[in-house]
Amino acid sequence: MGALPWLLLLLLVRTGERGRLQSWDGKDVVAVLQESVSLPLEVPADEEVENIVWSSHVRLATVVPGKRGQPATIEVTNPRYKGRASFPDPGYSLHISNLSWEDSGPYQAQVNLRTSRISVTQRYRLRVYRRLSEPRVTVNFEISREDGCNISLTCSVEKAGLDVTYSWLSGEDGVDAVHEGSALSTSWRPGDNAPSYTCRASNPISSIVSSPIPAGSFCSDPGYPSEKSTYLCVLAKGLLLLVLLVVLAAGLWLTGAPTWGRTSRMKKLKRNRLRLRKKEKPHPSLA
């Protein structure tokens, strides 16, 4: 029985000589398509590093730090990362440029320490996203005399990719969230306040909004005229009546002017004839 504690101690020592100590939790890292990203590596300051093995599904590269100010020896073993992967000194974090969709996935850095003769493993999960373009809003509406105007709005983003969320905003400044999701159904009746709706599309690296969509502009009057439309209708009728009166007066003046001119001339001729007759009539002689 006395040998059992020694056997346990020997087993612990051998395990510690080349054991794997996973002391850091995995990190989620997000990056932009066709841009660059760095996976930060943390190494204990009081430890001498023998080598670092980076991998993603398969071995990606091996880094052997240089001694006494000498540059590190770096061997990129995965051809897909050649020319895109670098390991800046002194931390030897993994820097990847010109990211593609295929770069998404798990990454691992195994740091083999010479001083304590242990291996420290750090894990990452890289997710690559595209910057979103302006959302496009599709509008469908149905007009009924009883219910006013029923409007359906659908929001979408071209080449959106994964993990895109949609929300609808309203209010004067477009800051009040009214609905979550890519589709929104609402109704509007003439005479009511016509709100404007804005679609916001978001993913882990970007957020962008659409142009405001006024709800009432897509609906014609279903039989409930507003005060403004009634006023415009009365004004139009009044202007039409005024134009008709002006045309009628002008027509009467044009047709009546020659007759009035002829009547005046005839009266003048009659007066002249009477004057001539009076002059021609002989005066009685005095006898």
Domain limits at 166? 136-218
Find residue 113's DSSP bridge partners.
Answer: 49
Number of DSSP helices (H) and strands (E) in the chain, helices first: 2, 18
Domain co-membership, 69 together with 142? no
pLDDT of 183 strictly over 70: yes
Domain co-membership, 125 together with 149? no
Domain co-membership, 114 together with 141? no
Domain co-membership, 27 together with 116? yes
Q: Tell me if 273 is assigned to some domain.
A: no
Q: Tell me if 124 is assigned to some domain.
A: yes
* Model confidence, pTM: 0.61
Domain co-membership, 70 together with 163? no
Q: Tell me if 84 is assigned to some domain.
A: yes
Q: Tell me if 145 is assigned to some domain.
A: yes
pLDDT tens by residue, 42-95: 887 778 889 999 999 999 999 999 887 788 899 999 999 999 999 998 789 999
For the chain, the domain total comes to 2
Mean pLDDT of the chain: 78
Provide the token pair at 118. Answer: 């242990």
Domain co-membership, 104 together with 28? yes
Q: Tell me if 93 is assigned to some domain.
A: yes
The helix or strand, by DSSP H or E, that contains position 255, with its residue range, turns out to be helix 227-280
Provide the CATH number for the domain around residue 101. Answer: 2.60.40.10
Domain co-membership, 84 together with 181? no
Q: Round to whole Å and give the CA distance between 148 and 93.
A: 62
Q: Tell me if 168 is assigned to some domain.
A: yes
Q: What is the pLDDT of residue 14?
A: 45
Instruction: Find the angle CA(76)-CA(78)-CA(81) to the nearest 5 degrees.
Output: 75
Average pLDDT over residues 99-122: 92
Q: Where are the beta strands (DSSP E) in 130-247?
A: 136-144, 148-156, 165-170, 176-180, 183-188, 196-203, 206-209, 213-214
Q: What is the pLDDT of residue 96?
A: 97
Domain co-membership, 103 together with 149? no
pLDDT of 265 strictly over 70: no
pLDDT tens by residue, 26-36: 899 999 999 99
Average pLDDT over residues 117-129: 93
Q: Which of 218, 245, 264 is at the close of a domain?
A: 218
Domain co-membership, 89 together with 145? no
Q: Which of 170, 196, 218 is at the close of a domain?
A: 218
Q: Which of 190, 218, 246 is at the close of a domain?
A: 218
Domain co-membership, 142 together with 161? yes
Least confident of 52-61, 89-98, 117-126, 180-189: 180-189
Domain co-membership, 142 together with 122? no
Q: Tell me if 32 is assigned to some domain.
A: yes
Domain co-membership, 98 together with 120? yes
Average pLDDT over residues 255-271: 61
Q: Tell me if 207 is assigned to some domain.
A: yes
pLDDT of 126 strictly over 50: yes
